[in-house]
């Protein structure tokens, strides 16, 4: 779901993308917001939100028991896959432009993130 309005305890957050297994949410509720934490969230960093995504949202997502957290960094064209271990996230894997990977929790799918970035013809200077 794109930009779901999440009410997680006292925290109200809107991740860029969130996903639930059908076992936990067989159908979308008829409500303006969701209180069931997703199984997976994804945030695309921007200069104005990077600190919130990496600090505040990370803490709330972990406290809410969200098992997987992807952080996309368009400026570096990288994806960090974080896995909830206990009450904190641990870096599970990383991916960058040009790599095809199976990214958890979607291990049966192969992703090619080259199409996820706007200017896909060229890697950022740090990756040339």
pLDDT at 124 over 60: no
31-75: pLDDT as tens digits: 999 999 999 999 999 999 999 999 999 999 999 999 999 999 988
CA triple 105-6-49, angle to 5 deg:
80
pLDDT given for residue 128 in this prediction: 42
pTM: 0.84
Average pLDDT of the residues of the chain? 87
Residue 95 to residues 22, 87, 111, Cα–Cα distance (Å):
27, 24, 10
pLDDT band at 110 (very low <50, low <70, confident <90, very high): confident
């Amino acid at each position: 779901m794109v930009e779901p309005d999440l009410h997680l305890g006292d925290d109200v957050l809107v991740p860029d993308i969130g996903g639930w297994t059908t076992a936990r949410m067989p159908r979308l509720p008829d409500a303006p917001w969701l209180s069931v934490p997703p199984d997976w969230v994804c945030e695309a960093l921007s200069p104005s939100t990077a600190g919130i995504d990496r600090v505040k949202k990370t803490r709330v997502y972990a406290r809410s028991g969200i098992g997987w957290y992807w952080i996309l960094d368009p400026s570096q064209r990288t994806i960090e896959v974080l896995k909830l271990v206990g009450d904190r996230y641990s870096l599970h894997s990383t991916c960058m432009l040009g790599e095809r990977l199976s990214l958890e929790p979607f291990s049966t799918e192969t992703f090619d993130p080259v199409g996820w970035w706007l200017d896909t013809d060229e890697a950022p200077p740090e990756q040339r």
